[in-house]
Structure 1
């Protein structure tokens, strides 16, 4: 019986030590590390408020127009979004209808996008569909 008890205690201590080591490793793996520098540090985020917020056709037309912007060579990444059904909080603004998120290699690329004929055509074709636009430009630090 003494042997069994000693074996049980030794086994329990070994298991506890292994668990503690495993938990420490897991906690270390879950820490947030400094992200790598983005290769596209210029961020251009645009929010569109539709004149007819309930119109799926208007929303889809803006989305299709935004997709044409992918042909502009200075845009390195383009994401298009609609409002997500997340929890309602005071800090969440879900009054807009469509957003675009673009990434550029540099400020010159973003400036070239602004005057590009495809961007100008998008504005000409779709501006009648939105009531308000807000743009946030940022540099990835």
Structure 2
């Protein structure tokens, strides 16, 4: 249940804007690809920094309209899931663009070389809007 509330919060924050952005113009319709990462070494600043650094390099992949990267906001509210270490919110114009991004060699390399080895758990939500 907490996971659903966490998604609702993350989706709300996405609609309101966020951290580093690749574009000043986000499409009105498209797909949000939300990736939440729990590190093997939970809270480790170096591992967190490594994932954020390598996530930034994903901006060069054609078809990615917007990329926001951040960390969980600590909260005492039961409705908020603040247990993840790094969150990415990507915007794509359509399903085809997202599928192309996911298959892109740079994305595949980052997942294999950094995300998989450093992560305890990764959860992905794809939201059509």
- With the shorter chain as reference, the TM-score category is 0.7 to 0.9
Structure 2 residue runs of 5 or longer lacking an equivalent are 1-25
Residues 1-141 of structure 1: pairs in structure 2 closer than 5 A: 38-85=27-74, 87-126=75-114, 127-140=116-129
- Matched pairs, number: 103
Q: How far apart are 1:40 and its partner, in Å?
A: 4.7
For 1:137 and 1:56, how far apart are their aligned partners in 2? 27
* Aligned alpha-carbon RMSD (Å): 1.4
For 1:40 and 1:79, how far apart are their aligned partners in 2? 17
Higher helix fraction: Structure 1 or Structure 2? 1
Look up the match of 2:20: none
Deviations 1:28-58 (A, max 9, x none): xxxxxxxxx9445111000000000131100
For 1:41 and 1:94, how far apart are their aligned partners in 2? 26
Q: Given the superposition, is the C-alpha separation of residues 124 and 41 from structure 1 closer, same or farther in structure 2, using an over 3 Å criterion? A: same
- Structure 1 contact 80–98 (Cα < 8 Å) conserved: yes
TM-score after normalising by structure 1? 0.69
Which of these two proteins has the greater Rg computed from alpha carbons? 1
Aligned structure 1 segments of 4 or more residues deviating by more than 4 angstroms: none
Structure 1 residue runs of 5 or longer lacking an equivalent are 1-36
For 1:68 and 1:41, how far apart are their aligned partners in 2? 22
Deviations 1:87-141 (A, max 9, x none): 411110011000100000110000001100110010122110000000000111x
For 1:43 and 1:54, how far apart are their aligned partners in 2? 25
